């Protein structure tokens, strides 16, 4: 859905000087099968450009970044298979040298030497904040921004986003060469209202499951009231505003797209009865994201019960309503 934007950024990167070595970073790479997917697609794009221009493929240095708790061992155990797959597509003209490194650390700080990167990519990571915003203790009954959240909670979330995204841009500005490109995709929203249903509904349904456990005495109410998700889903104007204020980048594209919650829209076999249960598949995805946060705050004993209830709530809503995520994608060039 955003591949055309990345393709455009790579094509424009090679429209001038043709580097003999290309250094790229994937920020928030995780540890699943997708860790090498973006690198594979980028290398494929560049190889096509090389063939069209009768150029030799550059050497590739790929940095895979995530937080220190990420399973980098799992990534590098699968590296040999990835390299074999790359090698199988080589020709004498485009024999590739690819070097991979793991870089543990938060992208809300410096990760690479100055002027060392040509291309930065990140998908579904930048909506995560560096911390839960301060001053949201009165967000009672909610675990995220919601229509019932006090105004100060919405302001606190927005300010934390501004601080974090500006820090991110400042760090990448130091690390990218002039003319370097960056493509970022994260969950966002179309509405200017930060508590709009399109960005908050998924967390609101999880809050319903947690509130059921409060009503039944399985969770203390004050424990729920002190739990908030460190995420912010910006609209296009909020992204644009921060990029302009930071001043190092020129925006080439800034777009939104919609993705249905329905897992069957993502290539899952519709004949598989297990995955055809939309509540199951989405709850499973959300559990992978939210479980560490819930365990850290509430402990392990309630986790299974929370997501059993969450699955039922989600399945009910998906059967009755149009449910979609909004993606925001921004492509930019370092110009200063």
Tell which residue, 265, 271, 270, 241, has the closest CA to residue 254: 241
Beta-ladder partners of 104: 66
pLDDT value, residue 309: 94
The rounded distance, in Å, linking the Cα atoms of 236 and 221 is 36
Are 149 and 289 within 8 A, CB to CB? no
- What is the pLDDT, as a whole number, of residue 264? 41
Question: Distance (Å, rounded) from C-alpha 72 to C-alpha 327?
Answer: 27
How far apart CA 182 and CA 331 sit, in angstroms, is 6
R_g of the chain, CA atoms, integer Å: 21
Strands 59-66 and 98-104: parallel
Per-residue model confidence (pLDDT) at position 274: 41
136/145 Cα distance (integer angstroms): 10
Q: Residue ranges of the chain with pLDDT lower than 70?
A: 1, 32-33, 90-95, 263-278
Please, which residues have CB within 8 angstroms of residue 51's CB and are 6 or more apart in sequence? 93, 94
- The DSSP line for 31-71 is SSGGGGHHHHHHHHHHHHHHHHHT-PPPEEEEEEEE-TTS-
Residue 123: CB atoms within 10 A of its CB come to 21
């Amino acid at each position: 859905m955003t591949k055309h934007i990345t393709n455009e950024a790579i094509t424009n990167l090679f429209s001038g000087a043709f580097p003999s070595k290309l250094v790229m970073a994937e920020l928030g790479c995780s540890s699943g099968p997708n860790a090498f997917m973006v690198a594979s697609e980028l290398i494929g794009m560049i190889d096509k450009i090389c063939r069209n221009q009768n150029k030799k493929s550059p050497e590739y240095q790929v940095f895979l970044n995530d937080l220190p708790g990420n399973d980098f061992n799992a990534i590098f155990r699968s590296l040999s298979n990835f390299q074999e797959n790359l090698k199988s597509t080589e020709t004498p003209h485009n024999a590739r040298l690819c070097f991979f490194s793991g870089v543990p650390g938060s992208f809300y700080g410096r990760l690479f030497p100055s002027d060392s990167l040509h291309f930065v990519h990140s998908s579904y990571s930048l909506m995560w904040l560096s911390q839960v915003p301060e001053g949201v203790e009165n967000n009672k009954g909610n675990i995220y921004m919601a229509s019932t959240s006090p105004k100060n909670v919405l302001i606190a979330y927005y300010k934390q986003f501004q601080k974090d995204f500006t820090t991110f841009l400042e760090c990448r500005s130091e690390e990218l060469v002039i003319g370097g490109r960056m493509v970022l995709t994260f969950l966002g929203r179309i509405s200017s209202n930060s508590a709009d249903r399109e960005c908050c509904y998924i967390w609101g349904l999880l809050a319903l499951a947690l509130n059921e456990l409060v009503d039944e005495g399985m969770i203390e109410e004050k424990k729920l009231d002190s739990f908030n998700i460190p995420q912010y889903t910006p609209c296009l104007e909020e992204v644009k505003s921060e990029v302009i204020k930071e001043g190092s980048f020129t925006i080439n594209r800034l777009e939104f797209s919609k993705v249905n919650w329905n897992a069957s829209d993502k290539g899952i076999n519709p004949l598989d009865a297990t995955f055809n249960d939309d509540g199951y598949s989405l709850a499973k995805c959300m559990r992978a994201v939210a479980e560490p946060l819930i365990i850290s705050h509430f402990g392990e004993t309630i986790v299974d019960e929370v997501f059993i209830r969450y699955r039922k709530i989600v399945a009910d809503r998906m059967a009755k309503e149009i449910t979609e995520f909004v993606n925001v994608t921004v492509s930019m060039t370092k110009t200063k």
